[in-house]
Chains A and B, each alone.
Chain A
Amino acid sequence: MLSVTNLHVEVGGKPILKGLSLEVPAGEVHAIMGPNGAGKSTLSYTLAGREGYEVTQGAASLNGEDLFALEANERAAKGLFLSFQYPLEIPGVPSLTFIRTALNAQRKARGEDEIGAPAFLKLAREKAASLKIDFDMLKRPLNVGFSGGEKKRMEIFQMAMLSPKFLILDETDSGLDIDALRIVSEGVNDLRSPERGMLVITHYQRLLDYIKPDRVHVLAAGKIVASGGPELALELEETGYDRFSQVAA
Chain B
Amino acid sequence: MAAVKKTIDQVEQLETYEHGFVTDIAQDFAPRGLSEDIVRFISAKKEEPEWMLQWRLEAYARWLQMEEPDWAKVEYVKVDYQNLYYYAAPSQKVGPMSLDEVDPELLKTYAKLGIPLREQEVLAGVQGAPRYAVDAVFDSVSVVTTFKKELAQVGVIFCSFSEAVREHPELVKRYLGSVVPTTDNYFACLNCAVFSDGSFVYIPPGVRCPMELSTYFRINAQETGQFERTLIIADKGSYVSYLEGCTAPQRDENQLHAAVVELVALDDAEIKYSTVQNWYPGDADGKGGIYNFVTKRADCRGVRSKVSWTQVETGSAVTWKYPSCILRGDESVGEFYSIAITNGRQQADTGTKMIHLGKNTRSRIISKGISAGNSSNTYRGLVSAHAKATGARNFTQCDSLLIGNTCAAHTVPYVEARNASAKFEHEATTTRLSDDQLFYVMQRGLSREEAVQLLVNGFVREVLQELPMEFAVEAQKLVAISLEGSVG
Q: Which residues of A contact B (CB under 8 A)?
A: 48-52, 71-73, 75-77, 81-82, 84, 87-88, 90-93, 98-99, 101-103, 105-106, 109, 141, 158, 162
Would B454 and A49 count as touching, CB distance under 8 A? no
Would A48 and B445 count as touching, CB distance under 8 A? no
Would A93 and B454 count as touching, CB distance under 8 A? yes
The 8 Å CB contact of B442, one of A71, A91, A158, is A71
Would B458 and A141 count as touching, CB distance under 8 A? yes
Would B442 and A93 count as touching, CB distance under 8 A? no
What is the CA–CA distance of A98 and B435 in the complex, to the nearest angstrom? 18
B446 interface contact, C-beta 8 A:
yes
- Which residues 242-277 of B sit at the A interface, judged by CB distance below 8 A? none
Distance between A60 CB and nearest chain B CB, rounded to angstroms: 15
What secondary structure prevails in chain B residues at the interface with A?
helix
- Which residues 435-462 of B sit at the A interface, judged by CB distance below 8 A? 435-437, 439-448, 450-451, 454-455, 457-462
What is the CA–CA distance of A133 and B446 in the complex, to the nearest angstrom? 24
Distance between B105 CB and nearest chain A CB, rounded to angstroms: 39
What is the CA–CA distance of A76 and B446 in the complex, to the nearest angstrom? 9
Question: Which chain A positions have C-beta within 8 A of B439?
Answer: 48, 50-51, 72
What is the CA–CA distance of A91 and B431 in the complex, to the nearest angstrom? 12
6 contacts between A and B (CB under 8 A): A76-B442, A88-B434, A88-B436, A88-B441, A98-B444, A158-B444
Would B442 and A73 count as touching, CB distance under 8 A? yes
Question: Which chain A positions have C-beta within 8 A of B460?
Answer: 92
The 8 Å CB contact of B440, one of A88, A91, A103, is A88
Would A91 and B458 count as touching, CB distance under 8 A? yes
Known contacts A76-B443, A77-B445, A84-B440; A90 and B455 CB within 8 A of each other: yes
Question: Which chain B positions have C-beta within 8 A of A103?
Answer: 445
Would B445 and A105 count as touching, CB distance under 8 A? yes
What is the CA–CA distance of A81 and B442 in the complex, to the nearest angstrom? 11
What is the CA–CA distance of A50 and B455 in the complex, to the nearest angstrom? 18
A48-B439, A73-B442 given. 19 additional CB < 8 A pairs?
A49-B442, A50-B439, A71-B442, A73-B448, A73-B451, A76-B443, A76-B445, A82-B443, A90-B437, A90-B455, A91-B458, A91-B459, A92-B459, A93-B454, A98-B444, A99-B444, A105-B445, A105-B450, A106-B444
For the complex of A and B, the 9 pairs showing the least CB-CB separation, nearest first, are A92-B458, A102-B444, A93-B458, A106-B445, A92-B461, A76-B445, A72-B442, A88-B440, A105-B445
Q: Which residues of B contact A (CB under 8 A)?
A: 434-437, 439-448, 450-451, 454-455, 457-462
Would B447 and A93 count as touching, CB distance under 8 A? no
What is the CA–CA distance of A109 and B442 in the complex, to the nearest angstrom? 13
> Which residue of the partner chain A has the closest CB to B447?
A73
Question: Which chain B positions have C-beta within 8 A of A98?
Answer: 444, 454
Would B446 and A90 count as touching, CB distance under 8 A? no
Would A92 and B450 count as touching, CB distance under 8 A? no
What is the CA–CA distance of A84 and B442 in the complex, to the nearest angstrom? 13
Known contacts A50-B439, A92-B461; A109 and B445 CB within 8 A of each other: yes
Question: Which chain B positions have C-beta within 8 A of A90?
Answer: 437, 440-441, 454-455, 458
Would A49 and B443 count as touching, CB distance under 8 A? yes
Would A101 and B446 count as touching, CB distance under 8 A? yes
> Which residue of the partner chain A has the closest CB to B456?
A92
